[in-house]
Structure 1
Amino acid sequence: MRHFEQRLRPLDFGMAYLPVVIALEENGALLQKQLAEHAHVEQPTMAALLTRMERDGLISRGPHPSDKRASQISLSAKAKARLPLAKEQLGEVAEQATLGFSERERATFIELLRRVVNNLDQG
């Protein structure tokens, strides 16, 4: 995690921001509640995270089309511009971490990690 964080910090990204950034990239604008579900965190935790991300210029809030009390959260132009480089940095760290692994070993490793995450999400 430290290696990922070191590569992302100059881009104003952090590992904590990634679930939000990826959810917004894949789904477009979302509500805070939806982002909390995607990231598997409680609403207060997500609220604090979004406040930091807004401060860092990575998200913007806009009005919800049908609920005046809610706001939709979107990636900012800054985040969209930096996301390809962030993904590249993550890929480089993952490549370094699995140096010397065969393609089959990498695939097995990723599958095992997915199973670990699924097990933790179930319990």
Structure 2
Amino acid sequence: MQVFFVTMTFETGNSAGFLANHMARLFAAGLARRIQPLGLAPAQFMVLLVLWDGDGLTQRDLVERLDVEQATMANTLARMERDGLITRQPSPTDKRARIVRLTDKARALEGDAKAAAQAQNNAALSGLSAAEADQLVDLMRRVVGTMQRRA
């Protein structure tokens, strides 16, 4: 098996890291503009996406699934609780853990928030064919997986 390494200069236009970071910031800014009328921030939206898939997770579960720092998650959850999006209840099986649950307010935002995110994705990928967009997403998943395995 041959292994090939791509040599790139660290000029901004050739650096995968720079481009990924720049693209992520542009996506986040576009998403923020689209979900702001719903009273959401991007970090809250990411937590909601996970909870809409499976309500009743612990803060630790959310940290692991979103790959963020514990302190960052604690601050995000505190804001979400203040904004009436979640409740935190003691875990019946672990005295130290609290279960994060969606409120009716958060459940009611799901359709509009996901539509806003889809609109942002559509706008960002509009310069690509459907096959190219699928390929980009596949390549991004592979890079993320590689980086997670090496972390």
Matched, 1:85 2:115: no
Hey, what does 1:4 align to over in structure 2?
Answer: 31
1:120 and 1:4 map into 2 onto residues whose CA distance is 24
TM (norm. structure 1) is 0.88
Q: 1:23 aligns with which of 50, 56, 68?
A: 50
- How do 1:92-107 and structure 2 match up within 5 A? 92-107=119-134
Matched, 1:70 2:90: no
More helix per residue: 1
Name stretches of at least 5 consecutive residues in structure 2 with no aligned partner.
1-27
Name stretches of at least 5 consecutive residues in structure 1 with no aligned partner.
none
Say which SS state the counterpart of residue 57 (structure 2) adopts: coil
TM (norm. structure 2) is 0.73
Matched, 1:58 2:109: no
Say which SS state the counterpart of residue 67 (structure 1) adopts: coil
Contact in 2 for aligned 1:20/1:38 (Cα 8 Å): no
Deviation at 1:66, TM superposition (A): 2.6
Deviation at 1:28, TM superposition (A): 1.7
Contact in 2 for aligned 1:4/1:93 (Cα 8 Å): yes
1:120 and 1:105 map into 2 onto residues whose CA distance is 22
Matched, 1:114 2:145: no
User: Identity, % of aligned pairs?
Assistant: 38
Contact in 2 for aligned 1:59/1:73 (Cα 8 Å): yes
1:71 and 1:48 map into 2 onto residues whose CA distance is 14
Indicate the structure whose relative CO is greater, using CA pairs within 8 Å and at least 6 residues apart. Answer: 1
Residues 97 and 48 of structure 1, relative CA distance in 2, 3 Å threshold? same
1:4 and 1:41 map into 2 onto residues whose CA distance is 19
